[in-house]
Amino acid sequence: MTLTRESVLAALKTVQDPMTGEDIVSSGMMRALRVADQSVRFVLEVDQSRMPQMEELSREAEQKLQDLPDCESVQVVLTAHSDAPAQPSAPSEPVPIKQRPAPPGTSGPQRVPGIDRVVAIASGKGGVGKSTVAANLACALAAQGRRVGLLDADVYGPSQPKMLGVSGRPTSPDGEMILPLRNHGVTLISIGLMTSGDQAVVWRGPMLMGALQQMMSQVQWGALDILIVDLPPGTGDVQMTLSQKFIVDGAIIVSTPQDIALLDARKGIDMFHQMHVPILGMIENMSTHVCSKCGHEEHIFGHGGVAAEAGKLGVPLLAEVPLSLGIRTAGDSGTPATLADPEAADGRVFRDLAARLVEQGHA
């Protein structure tokens, strides 16, 4: 039997932090996993104050890996931090944040220091499941040991806090850096959490640009392998600002198979082409419906439309996500389907998508 990334992750998931009860993979503590030639290497990023306890945990992880068949060497690097984004308490009002001026001479798209890649999840039309895909992909990548941030930029209906089961508001102890929220190993900020109370907000161009810039540059993301940006549907100000101000390494377009959704998806793809953002591929959501009682399959919104469109446009079809009650209820419950039931078809589709993006160097 050969040593695989999956067998290593499965072994590491049995190592639990006694304080939180979370395993070291799901908690996001494990980073930069490399499995090659019968050797395993990874980093455990731990809180400085818990170093002795963490050394014990690291020894336990090492032992579990050494017990795997074909594992010849294990190297665990323990790094201490004191700046991990903490789960803040929940003040009733957000703290006013000072906007930092852009550094001089920086008018073109910039990289955010510490963030290796930015990938946007977009759709032409609302309600096609873009946020569901973004939440599941973020969790699946984190479960595979990637350092993941999720920026919910959907001004029309920010849904990520609910999908990831976080509550409370981001805080800013120094009035400048914003501390994000964190759950399921994913660091999260949502534009919906940057406004006061339940007040409805009409986002105007400059205000939106300011908020997006703050969320990208003034959030204490920590070091990330990937920042996933959940965009609002369509081709509006947020999409433009994001790609004008920041380097976006790729966009994934989510669509249902219906013609009307596909028509809008095409407009989205054109916009990203114009902005010189590479299209990583398309995802067909609500593809096949499998009856949870009898197993009968039917194609409520048709099937294969996105594959055909992706073929025409010359971009890969990255996944076909089933229309499933489990995906919806998991999203509503705050634990996305890929974590709620990773072995079921609903969970596997996102796990495979994450693995594919990692393999291709996109995540």
Q: How far is CA 154 from CA 142, 160, 231, in A?
A: 21, 9, 5
Say if residue 127 carries a ligand binding annotation: yes
Q: In the block, which residue shows the tokens 């902005």?
A: 275
In the complex, least distance from residue 264 CB atom to ligand ATP, rounded to whole angstroms: 11
Q: In the block, which residue shows the tokens 């079921």?
A: 344
Rounded distance between C-alpha atoms, residue 160 and residue 121, angstroms: 13
In the complex, least distance from residue 353 CB atom to ligand ATP, rounded to whole angstroms: 13
CA quadruple 46, 47, 48, 50: dihedral sign:
negative
Is the CB of 128 or the CB of 340 nearer to ligand ATP?
128
Say if residue 124 carries a ligand binding annotation: yes
Q: Is 281 in the site for ligand ATP (CB under 6 A)?
A: no
Q: Is 233 in the site for ligand ATP (CB under 6 A)?
A: yes
Q: Is 150 in the site for ligand ATP (CB under 6 A)?
A: no
Is the CB of 180 or the CB of 257 nearer to ligand ATP?
257
User: In the chain, what's the furthest Cα-to-Cα distance?
Assistant: 63
What SS3 class is residue 227? strand
Q: Is 190 in the site for ligand ATP (CB under 6 A)?
A: no
Among positions 157, 168, 206, 311, the unique one binding ligand ATP when judged by CB under 6 A: 157
Is the CB of 7 or the CB of 132 nearer to ligand ATP?
132
In the complex, least distance from residue 178 CB atom to ligand ATP, rounded to whole angstroms: 23
Phi/psi of residue 115, nearest 5 degrees:
-105, 115
Rounded distance between C-alpha atoms, residue 25 and residue 44, angstroms: 10
Among positions 109, 126, 236, 278, the unique one binding ligand ATP when judged by CB under 6 A: 126
Among positions 13, 328, 356, 362, the unique one binding ligand ATP when judged by CB under 6 A: 328
**Which segment (5-13, 199-207, 212-220, 324-332) binds ligand ATP by CB under 6 A?**
324-332
**E strand residue ranges, 262-345:** 279-284, 289-290, 297-298, 317-320
250 CB contacts (<8 Å, ≥6 apart)? Answer: 117, 119, 120, 277, 278, 279, 280, 362
Q: Is 23 in the site for ligand ATP (CB under 6 A)?
A: no
**Which segment (32-40, 42-50, 257-265, 325-333) binds ligand ATP by CB under 6 A?**
325-333
Q: Is 143 in the site for ligand ATP (CB under 6 A)?
A: no
In the complex, least distance from residue 325 CB atom to ligand ATP, rounded to whole angstroms: 7
**E strand residue ranges, the chain:** 30-36, 39-47, 73-81, 118-122, 148-152, 181-183, 186-190, 226-230, 250-255, 279-284, 289-290, 297-298, 317-320
The encoded tokens of residue 7 equal 């067998």
In the complex, least distance from residue 54 CB atom to ligand ATP, rounded to whole angstroms: 36
CB neighbourhood size of 104 (10 A): 6
Per the CB < 8 A criterion, the answer to whether 141 and 358 are in contact is: yes
Rounded distance between C-alpha atoms, residue 128 and residue 257, angstroms: 10
**Which segment (130-138, 239-247, 257-265, 308-316) binds ligand ATP by CB under 6 A?**
130-138
Say if residue 129 carries a ligand binding annotation: yes
Rounded distance between C-alpha atoms, residue 234 and residue 230, angstroms: 12
Helix ranges, 159-204 (H): 160-163
Is the CB of 217 or the CB of 335 nearer to ligand ATP?
335
Q: How many residues bind ligand ATP (CB under 6 A)?
A: 20
Say if residue 98 carries a ligand binding annotation: no
Is the CB of 25 or the CB of 163 nearer to ligand ATP?
163
Report strand pairing: 118-122 vs 250-255: parallel
**Which segment (17-25, 121-129, 169-177, 294-302) binds ligand ATP by CB under 6 A?**
121-129
**Which segment (7-15, 62-70, 119-127, 205-213) binds ligand ATP by CB under 6 A?**
119-127
The encoded tokens of residue 305 equal 């439309």
Q: Which residues bind ligand ATP (CB under 6 A)?
A: 123, 126-132, 154, 157, 159, 233, 285-286, 321, 323-324, 327-328, 331
- In the annotated binding site for ATP, the residues are 124-131
